[in-house]
Chain A
């Protein structure tokens, strides 16, 4: 039998990395097991020809600035992980091309007939001013929404610190009132004009639930970390973040095994006691932190009879979150030659987030986020070239009719659709200049993330399953007292920051349990 660990972390995605580094730093004997040959899960990179592509990161929320580091920068400083951040201070541009019969259309700066063209600056005040310019009469409600967001954000923060919970109601009087209400409900109450709400809600897709479902309290966190704190990216793609943390885990004495898939969890006395790696090697530990999606964990790593009943019920009650399709393009023209002016443009077939959500029940949906990495990272690709990535979102088993022999054509068809959407909405030409292309569809994400539908987002943040009940009920939702989940399936849902946060939290609880001899 190999040596026994204090903690085995299953999976080196953002959540698992956050968990392992926290445990190792606290001096626990830590083993991180990863199926793939690299750390990071979504947080990685890949090379095609002379391009190195960013696979998933649009913006890392909460990087902040050097004087006032945001939550994620602070966390990496705590880990001691060396990442060179590029900070940037714009939010997004939303473009809604006009459809037949649309009223209120106008010609965008690109010469396209649109109903919305909104380029939004970072910072609450500048954002609200811009919104007023686009939708007169929206400034006051926008500032009120931000003000509310700031207070809700502080309440969320307190909720994580048991000693501060009693002060929430005193310090944030509207906490109880707002909790459980959607973005639409709150913005309606604040009297924000509909058109302004549509622009305000653009970030819905980062969490995968529209304005009529999205809990305002949670949106507060999103607004706070994207609009206020300022976003960023690592200079060397997200592979830099993953390797930086990998290095610290080793420096702190932790072990990492790549190409090492946990194929079974070994149970003793009704509790996890060890794992089987690649079907052959057994390793034991007293505690476990699992970054694998619960659906896959329960169906592949356990016998059905070993799974706590409540966990099975949770699986059936919860909806798997959205899945993504991404087209990575290495272009043999610069961004100026192509006519790009923005890092991040959201192109939507309709301005209303609920209509967008409905459209995304299909894969061919006209919804596309286009990012030009060179816009914020001048070294993103060799001289004379640029790197783009296009992302769309969908829900459910959108590949259900695709057979292996249709796979390549299917990929090219969705890629072409997405490129067409961007070319039309921005009046630019992309196709003639593609030097490298890679297309990731839900099956691709299944392969790399090993999640149902390939979702990188965990479970849908439905009204009844939103951040507040998830946070308050975190402990009672965990399967065993020595086996905690982390990652996008946990209380804060998807996003690099949320996943790291969940890993650090699971680790903190594990460290405490071990110190207390549990």
Chain B
């Protein structure tokens, strides 16, 4: 065998060394032209931030408005990032000296973004910081900064059943308005049944739009009123029975749910009765967790206030806050901007290092990676301090 190697000619070593440098010398000394399309797409679909202006305000109900947002070219946003129906935007605002963020599902259909229009629909939350601020201050012409479209609450043809029963409660209708538009436009291809729970006829958001959608024939819309008994409406709550009534008999179906936390808790029990495989039940994110002390696994003897020493890049600050607030909320309340998107524990965007101290994380919001536990990393948006903390947080983006 060894002799066979000798048949390989010794003729390549020297040319290999000189050839390479010669090849370099022969080239033009200038930057290559355009970046490739994969690179261009990545930037177009995931801009760092989008600078927008309010172009129109639509009153939806007493406590709810829609805002049509268009690119603010002066600030550098020329076009809007396209998105899959169901995604959300994070809104950045400064309210009473705090730099805060909240997630809002895009309620316009994907096609509208190509014409430079997004719509957000925001419902007032009693005592809520962002919703009240937006409803009271956003008017036509106002500048608004939002994130790229985010989230995973989308139809996925390789995963989901062809029939999708969408369950909405209150402002949870927003992603489904977008999905229905995408189905009608042919941008999504599934059989959509939308079951929308509201208190009474007046509380129904997008009533006229939903009538139009229903008429089109591609999407079936069912209204459920909890407090009213009216002709042409289902009465009561969304239950397993009601879902079965509108679900196909002999074909698989997926359930998508978006609504307030109380609705998730109620529906989880109802949906369990249907015996669907896990893959066919999908929730939009939980939202910010409130009142951790109400949880059975919350420890006792937790102090009311704690101090948090936080390092962001080369700046270290010590602040104090309530153990009833998340680490993220405490930072924000002290005027420190921190990275956040979903504020529900899921997206990992707030990923930070916990160097000292202990936190409580509600089970429903536990989406950390395995190695995060080994190396002491937390998601501040769903971590409640139990002791004084020392943390290292990435700079807000």
Contacts A176-B10, A260-B395 given: A247-B375 contact, CB under 8 Å? yes
| B30 / chain A contacts, CB cutoff of 8 Å | 304, 312, 316
| A454 / chain B contacts, CB cutoff of 8 Å | 38-39, 42
**In the bound complex, what is the Cα–Cα distance between A515 and B121 (angstroms)?**
61
- Would B41 and A404 count as touching, CB distance under 8 A? yes
- Would A464 and B20 count as touching, CB distance under 8 A? yes
| B275 / chain A contacts, CB cutoff of 8 Å | none
- Would A442 and B38 count as touching, CB distance under 8 A? yes
| A441 / chain B contacts, CB cutoff of 8 Å | 38
- Would A402 and B37 count as touching, CB distance under 8 A? yes
| A237 / chain B contacts, CB cutoff of 8 Å | 369-371
Q: Does A161 contact B (CB under 8 A)?
A: no
- Would B41 and A443 count as touching, CB distance under 8 A? yes
**In the bound complex, what is the Cα–Cα distance between A476 and B277 (angstroms)?**
60
Q: Does A355 contact B (CB under 8 A)?
A: no
Selecting from B134-142, B151-159, B298-306, the interface stretch reads B151-159
Question: Interface 1/0s, chain B 31-48, versus A by CB < 8 A?
Answer: 110011111011011100
**In the bound complex, what is the Cα–Cα distance between A490 and B318 (angstroms)?**
43
| B296 / chain A contacts, CB cutoff of 8 Å | none
Contacts A181-B8, A313-B25, A446-B42 given: A243-B372 contact, CB under 8 Å? yes
- Would A469 and B31 count as touching, CB distance under 8 A? no
**In the bound complex, what is the Cα–Cα distance between A476 and B156 (angstroms)?**
50
Selecting from A15-23, A111-119, A185-193, A496-504, the interface stretch reads A185-193
- Would A464 and B16 count as touching, CB distance under 8 A? yes
- Would A405 and B82 count as touching, CB distance under 8 A? yes
| B84 / chain A contacts, CB cutoff of 8 Å | 408
Q: How many A-B residue pairs have CB under 8 A?
A: 245
**In the bound complex, what is the Cα–Cα distance between A141 and B371 (angstroms)?**
44
- Would B4 and A259 count as touching, CB distance under 8 A? no
- Would B13 and A45 count as touching, CB distance under 8 A? no
Contacts A180-B16, A419-B158, A435-B159 given: A259-B369 contact, CB under 8 Å? no
Smallest beta-carbon distance B397→chain A, Å: 5
- Would B28 and A189 count as touching, CB distance under 8 A? no
**In the bound complex, what is the Cα–Cα distance between A315 and B32 (angstroms)?**
8
Number of interface residues of A (CB under 8 A): 102
| B278 / chain A contacts, CB cutoff of 8 Å | 49-50, 332, 435
Smallest beta-carbon distance A174→chain B, Å: 6
**In the bound complex, what is the Cα–Cα distance between A37 and B341 (angstroms)?**
12
**In the bound complex, what is the Cα–Cα distance between A17 and B314 (angstroms)?**
19
Q: Does A178 contact B (CB under 8 A)?
A: yes
| A3 / chain B contacts, CB cutoff of 8 Å | 314
| A177 / chain B contacts, CB cutoff of 8 Å | 5-6, 8-10
- Would B375 and A434 count as touching, CB distance under 8 A? no
Q: Which of B41, B156, B369 contacts A402 (CB 8 A)?
A: B41
**In the bound complex, what is the Cα–Cα distance between A415 and B187 (angstroms)?**
18
Contacts A240-B370, A404-B81 given: A453-B159 contact, CB under 8 Å? no
Q: Which of B36, B46, B313, B371 contacts A453 (CB 8 A)?
A: B36
Q: Does B262 contact A (CB under 8 A)?
A: no
- Would A452 and B17 count as touching, CB distance under 8 A? no
- Would A446 and B39 count as touching, CB distance under 8 A? yes
Smallest beta-carbon distance B79→chain A, Å: 9
| A48 / chain B contacts, CB cutoff of 8 Å | 152
| B372 / chain A contacts, CB cutoff of 8 Å | 239, 243
Closest chain A residue, CB of each to CB of B39: A446
| A465 / chain B contacts, CB cutoff of 8 Å | 20, 23
Contacts A402-B37, A415-B158 given: A332-B5 contact, CB under 8 Å? no
Q: Does B245 contact A (CB under 8 A)?
A: no
Q: Does A298 contact B (CB under 8 A)?
A: yes
Q: Does A268 contact B (CB under 8 A)?
A: no
| B25 / chain A contacts, CB cutoff of 8 Å | 313
- Would B371 and A236 count as touching, CB distance under 8 A? yes
Contacts A257-B395, A278-B395, A304-B30 given: A190-B5 contact, CB under 8 Å? yes
| A444 / chain B contacts, CB cutoff of 8 Å | 42
Question: Interface 1/0s, chain A 356-399, versus B by CB < 8 A?
Answer: 00000000000000000000000000000000000000001111
Closest chain A residue, CB of each to CB of B182: A408
Smallest beta-carbon distance B153→chain A, Å: 12
| A278 / chain B contacts, CB cutoff of 8 Å | 395, 397
- Would A437 and B156 count as touching, CB distance under 8 A? yes
Smallest beta-carbon distance A433→chain B, Å: 8
**In the bound complex, what is the Cα–Cα distance between A226 and B29 (angstroms)?**
39
Smallest beta-carbon distance B84→chain A, Å: 5
| B28 / chain A contacts, CB cutoff of 8 Å | 312-313, 316
Closest chain B residue, CB of each to CB of A279: B48
A and B contact pairs by CB, cutoff 8 A, 29 listed:
A3-B314, A38-B348, A46-B348, A47-B369, A174-B8, A180-B16, A185-B8, A189-B8, A239-B370, A244-B371, A250-B353, A255-B314, A258-B394, A258-B395, A259-B339, A304-B30, A312-B31, A317-B23, A323-B38, A400-B36, A405-B110, A407-B45, A412-B157, A435-B279, A446-B42, A453-B38, A454-B42, A464-B16, A469-B19
Q: Which 9 A-B pairs have the closest CB atoms?
A: A180-B12, A258-B394, A404-B82, A446-B42, A435-B279, A144-B1, A259-B394, A442-B38, A313-B27
List the interface of chain B (C-beta within 8 A of A): 1-2, 4-13, 15-17, 19-21, 23-32, 35-39, 41-42, 44-46, 81-82, 84, 110-111, 114, 152, 154, 156-159, 187, 277-279, 313-314, 339, 346, 348-349, 351, 353, 367-372, 374-375, 377, 394-397
List the interface of chain A (C-beta within 8 A of B): 2-3, 37-38, 45-50, 52, 140-141, 143-144, 147-148, 174, 176-181, 185-186, 189-191, 234, 236-237, 239-240, 242-244, 246-247, 250, 255, 257-260, 277-278, 281, 295, 298-299, 304, 307, 309-310, 312-317, 323, 332, 396-402, 404-405, 407-408, 412, 415-416, 419, 431, 433-437, 441-447, 452-454, 464-466, 468-469, 472-473, 476
Q: A181-B12, A239-B369, A465-B23 are in contact. List 15 more A-B contacts (CB 8 A).
A: A45-B371, A47-B368, A190-B4, A258-B351, A259-B339, A259-B394, A260-B395, A314-B27, A404-B44, A405-B82, A405-B114, A407-B45, A435-B159, A453-B38, A473-B17
